[in-house]
Amino acid sequence: MTIKERYESAKAVYQEIGVDTDNAMEILKKIPVSMHCWQGDDVIGFDRKGGLTGGIQTTGNYPGKAQTPEELLADMEEAMTLIPGAKKINIHASYAVFEDGEWADRDALEPKHFKRWVEFARKHNLGLDFNPTFFSHPKAENSTLTSPDEEIRKFWIRHGQACIRISQYFAQQTGIPCVMNIWIPDGFKDYPADRLGPRARYKASLDEILAVPYDKSKVYVCVESKVFGIGLEAYTAGSAEFTMNYAAIKEGCIPLMDNGHYHPTEMVSDKISSMLLFHDKIALHVTRPMRWDSDHVVLLDDETKEIAKEIVRNDAIERVFIALDYFDAGINRIGAWVTGMRNMQKALLYALLQPKKKLKELQDTMQFTELMMWQEELKTYPFGDVWDYYCESENVPVKGSWFDEVKRYETEVLSRR
Ligand code: RNT
Ligand code: ZN
């Protein structure tokens, strides 16, 4: 049977339960998933030598990681040929590309330092998202926007403000709004004597960053919460309550939830609906926390599917910004990108193929046995046949055949680095 024939048969099966597979694919291909540049080089960036700090960690030493802008862009380009549908590119400020020996510290970054990324985005017709980098820097050794040292705090405020200007430049140049996410690692390894002070300073710093004039219809500023980092186990200034409340009161500020940033039995999928009731827009970092915020590659696991279902069944596709955030240095990094991106898209397709009206009706009429039955039966519906056809119609390799290309690239490009 051809892919098309398998699709036609799957289409009929879904039709029986009132699901339109053509329509699902039409919607799916327009949902942008933001692909994070930092999977390509283990969150190192180009603006300084030195390791990754901030309580986050990459593990593994798979050969062939990108070490120059040229290599990183080539690797992203390679990955993108294997990923269907709409995409955005997510960049950290530490990935500034300096030309002709020039260099600027984080507080002095300018749009011109990201020209290469804009050219890349334009070439591929993509939007860009952005992140100030409040880690991997000597001035971030103790704290950044929460610092009691005014010099340090002001330095990082200037960095945040510079990043807003760069985000606006991205939006102007690509014609697509830029989501700018603020995450700071600030916290303490052991019990603090003052929990309020750092949070009060964080709040004041955010106010100052957001006070720069910018077009709120072009730049969406988010704040990302976290529960703890490595070496910062006792206290994190930007906790869930802090960021949720800040985003709730601050005009133009969007809460960002990373599903690695909660206690292990807390599920982001369950939080989305509450957040949607109180925010016009929310943002997500989809990741896979393995026992901790380990940032493993996104799989098509239950929580990823549940997150996708919440976005789709609450008609919130336009209100939820989806970005991926993981960094595995132990496997082929292109394979890591492609697997995670395709899995996020598969989860969205899976969600789009649910008979949401019917399931909701069963819940509202309290037919819970039948609801359970359907949710289980749907798991073995011919979803894979729709996905394969989607890949084929998007001109990307079907099933595992994309891996042949990853192997070729590894032999011809990565292994020669
Ligand atoms: C860290 C946060 C943050 C970073 C990226 C690199 O725990 O998840 O989003 O992973 O900014
Ligand atoms: Zn994150």
pLDDT band at 334 (very low <50, low <70, confident <90, very high): very high
pLDDT tens-digit readout, 213-228: 999 999 999 999 999 9
- Percentage of the chain beyond pLDDT 70 is 100
Residue 293: per-residue pLDDT = 96
Instruction: Specify whether 113 is catalytic.
Output: no
At 414 the pLDDT is: 97
Q: Is 411 exposed, middle or buried (0-12, 13-18, 19+ CB in 10 A)?
A: exposed
**What type of residue sits at position 47?**
D
Residue 87: HSE in the Cβ half-sphere, 13 Å Cα cutoff: 27
Q: Region 333-343: what's the mean pLDDT? A: 98
Span 158-182, pLDDT tens digits: 999 999 999 999 999 999 999 999 9
Ligand nearest to the CA of residue 238, numbered in listed order: 1
Q: Are 286 and 344 in contact (CB under 8 A)?
A: yes
CB of 311 within 8 A of CB of 317?
A: yes
What six digits make up the tokens of 272? 């989305």
Looking at the predicted structure, is the pLDDT value of residue 184 above 90? yes
Facing residues of 257 across strands? 284
Residues with Cβ within 8 Å of residue 103, at least 6 apart in sequence: 47
Cα 40 from Cα 79, distance rounded (Å)? 10
Residues at CB less than 6 angstroms from ligand 1: 38, 43, 56, 131, 183, 224, 226, 258, 285, 293, 325
Report whether pLDDT(396) > 90.
Answer: yes
Is 224 annotated in the active site?
A: yes
Could you tell me the distance, in angstroms and rounded to a whole number, from the CA of residue 284 to the centre of ligand 2?
8
**Tokens of residue 183, six digits:** 């995450």
- Is 22 noted as a catalytic residue in this protein? no
Whether the pLDDT of residue 101 is over 90: the answer is no
What secondary structure, in 3-state letters, does 51-62 show? CCCCCCCCCCCC
The pLDDT value recorded for residue 100 is: 86
**CA 311/CA 349 separation, integer angstroms:** 11
Average pLDDT for residues 358-368, to the nearest whole number?
98
- Which residues are CB-contacts of 34 (< 8 A; sequence separation ≥ 6)? 87, 88, 89, 90, 129, 179, 321, 322, 323, 324
Q: Using the mean position of ligand 2's atoms as its centre, give its distance from the Cα of residue 53 in Å.
A: 14
Tens-digit pLDDT profile for residues 223-259: 999 999 999 999 999 999 999 999 999 999 999 999 9
Is 160 within 8 Å of 182 (Cβ atoms)? Answer: yes
Read off the pLDDT of residues 126-164 as tens digits, 9 standing for 90 and up: 999 999 999 999 999 999 999 999 999 999 999 999 999
With a CB cutoff of 8 Å and minimum separation 6, the contacts of 171 are 177, 178, 215, 218, 219
In degrees to the nearest 10, what's the CA dihedral of 398, 401, 407, 408?
-80
pLDDT digits 0-9 by tens, 21-54: 999 999 999 999 999 999 999 999 999 988 999 9
Shortest-distance Cα residue to atom 7 of ligand 1:
56
